[in-house]
Every structure is written in C-alpha cells, then in structure tokens.
Amino acid sequence: MPQLIKTYVRLTDKVSDLVGYFAASLIFLMGATLLLDAVTRNVLNIPIHWAIEFTQFTLVAYYFMGGPITLKNNEHVRMDLWYANLSDRGRAKLDLVTVVCLIFYLGVMLVGSISSLQYAIDTGERRFSMWNPSVIPIKALLTVSLVLMLMQAFALVFKHIATLRGERL
C-alpha cells in the first residue's frame, strides 16, 4: 500500500481512539449528573430541571462518538454463523462488501444530518422543555461523528484490500 494510505489509516485510527476514549469518559459525567440530581431532589428538596435532559444529550454524544472506535476495533454486531469459519481472505472479502454498504448508509445519514443541522441553525431550533436547550450542538456532533465514521469506514476498506493483497496495515 502507498505511504499516503498507510498514514491515512494510522491517523484515522488514532483519531478514532481519542474520540472513543473521550466518549467512554462521558459515562462518569452522566453518573455525576444523575447523582447530583438525586441528591438535590431527594435530600435538599431542590429539583434540578436540566439534569435528566443533560444526561440524555450526553448519552447521545456517547453513542455518536463511540461509533468510530467500535468500527476500528471490530466490535460491532455481526452474524457470526458463517463468518467465524471463513479464512482471513474470506472475511476480508465479506467485510469489503459490507463496508461498502456501510459507506452508502453513512453517506445518506451524513446528507440528512447536514440538512438537519442547517435547519437547526437557520431556525435557532430548541428542545421544547423546561430547560429549553439548543439542539445545534448535538446535531453538529452527529455530523462530525458521521464524518469520523466515514473516515474509519474508508480506513477499513484500505485494511481489507491490504489483507486481500497479503499485506498488513
């Protein structure tokens, strides 16, 4: 494989790791927010109206940002009935077909997320609740996460092609 592709794969894997580890740390933020809500509501009798919704937004960010590292580490859901019995080349061929389908799906999702983000920016879209937060940050995060997932999907294409060629990336 050309050095440019190797560099792309290595860089994409590092970015996926960084984003994924940051996403994993969000679990502590969610736990702390829910604990704060429980203490202020039940002990101090001062409900925090934003806590649950903030935790929901954080959980969404956790899922979005966990996608690239899940792809990189091959930890996504797969039907292993036949896959486990395939050779490395057979797995690479099957993975190449599925990752092309994934790229199409992520491309469609990216077009939709860009449209949704543009609408949110144009209208100043907010969530209808007592807290009334803007949805622009979470929609922007979705768009960025989809770009990272697409980058990782293309890195997978290069890895599978390298496997078919008997190389290693």
pTM for the model: 0.88
| Residue 74 near residue 160 (C-beta atoms within 8 A) | no
User: Distance (Å, rounded) from C-alpha 7 to C-alpha 46?
Assistant: 53
Mean pLDDT over residues 67-81, rounded? Answer: 85
What are the residue ranges spanned by the domains of the chain? 3-164
Residue 136 tokens, joined: 């622009």
- Tell me the backbone φ, ψ of residue 126, rounded to 5 degrees: -130, 160
Which uninterrupted H or E stretch holds 95?
Answer: helix 88-123
User: Distance (Å, rounded) from C-alpha 132 to C-alpha 59?
Assistant: 18
User: Distance (Å, rounded) from C-alpha 49 to C-alpha 129?
Assistant: 9
Percent of the chain with pLDDT over 90: 82
Q: What is the mean pLDDT of the chain?
A: 93
| Residue 65 near residue 22 (C-beta atoms within 8 A) | yes
Looking at the DSSP assignment, which residues form a beta bridge with residue 126? Answer: 134
pLDDT score for 128: 87
**Region of residue 124 (left: phi > 0; alpha: psi -120 to 50; beta: else):** left
pLDDT, tens digit, for every residue of 106-143?
A: 999 999 999 999 999 999 999 988 888 999 999 999 99
State the Cα angle at 131 between 130 and 132, rounded to 5°: 90
pLDDT score for 66: 95
pLDDT score for 130: 83
- Sign of the C-alpha dihedral, residues 62, 149, 103, 123? positive
Tell which residue, 146, 153, 155, has the closest CA to residue 65. 146
pLDDT, tens digit, for every residue of 52-67?
A: 999 999 999 999 999 9
| Residue 111 near residue 142 (C-beta atoms within 8 A) | no
pLDDT score for 1: 82
Residue 169 has pLDDT above 90, yes or no: no
Higher pLDDT, 77 or 41: 41
Residue 79 has pLDDT above 90, yes or no: no
Residue 43 has pLDDT above 90, yes or no: yes
